[in-house]
Structure 1
Amino acid sequence: MSTTVLLPLWAEIAIAALLLCGAAIALLGSTGLLRLPSFFERVHAPAMISTLGCWCIVGGAGLYFSLRSGQLALHILLIAIFLAITVPITTIFLMRAGLFRARQARRKDIPPTLSRITPSRPSKS
């Protein structure tokens, strides 16, 4: 037989506020993903969702499960840590791939390369 643990009102309000804040940030980032004009601008919207939105939702879930079980629920933080590590890496790879493809297409609206490729000089013999 399972017993239902009633949470205090302050906890329910805090959990609801964190979850609603995370959901609002996810909605804002999704809207940015749809409405921003170029790839290089659109790639930033999911990063906002996965950082601040994820931390709000993980905070609400951590608070809920910690209060419900009576002990600190740290295993939920693994989700946020995993996202905090992987999202910047994938964003960098996506940006580099997009920049490479734009340079291959010879688009003029992208920044120039920073690498110094010098033409080969004939050796003096």
Structure 2
Amino acid sequence: MTPEAAALPWIVVVPVCLLLLIGAGLTLVGAFGLLRLNSFYARVHAPTLGTSYGMGCILLASMLFFSALGTRLVIHEIAIGAFVILTTPVTLMLVARAAMHRDRLEGQRGVPQAARPD
């Protein structure tokens, strides 16, 4: 740890620590959901939410810490967050649709039927 980081006031350190713990906890819950849920469709959903919200908290902590440390506003984390928030749900939908298409072709039970155009 640099001397500058050790000298940060507690008003910055406490929120940074809380955001890091919350972000790590949300990501861990998403990982446990990946392991514990029983169907593919439920498994693909849990890590997506954990990753998105956990990443948001960790990026907020990073923005706060480096803004206080550098005495300037650090906002390039917003670009990282935007890319992850935009790409994670799209990836989830594409993977889930591919799995649903495969399950329909194989005739597995419990897969929703394709919507009929009216």
Name the TM-score, length of structure 1 as normaliser. 0.87
Secondary structure of the 1:76 match is helix
Identity %: 34
Unaligned runs of 5+ in 2: none
CA distance in 2, matches of 1:103, 1:29: 27
Secondary structure of the 2:4 match is coil
Aligned to 1:20: 21
Which structure features the higher share of helix residues? 2
Aligned to 1:98: 99
Aligned to 1:62: 63
Larger Rg: 1
Aligned to 1:4: 4
Unaligned runs of 5+ in 1: 117-125
Structure 1 stretches of 4+ moved >6 Å: none
The number of residue pairs the alignment matches comes to 115
For the aligned residue pairs, the C-alpha RMSD in angstroms reads 1.4
CA distance in 1, matches of 2:78, 2:51: 13
Q: Could you report, residue by residue, the CA deviation over 1:51-107 in whole angstroms, capped at 9, with x for unpaired residues?
A: 211110000010000000101100111111110110111011011001001001101
Name the TM-score, length of structure 2 as normaliser. 0.92
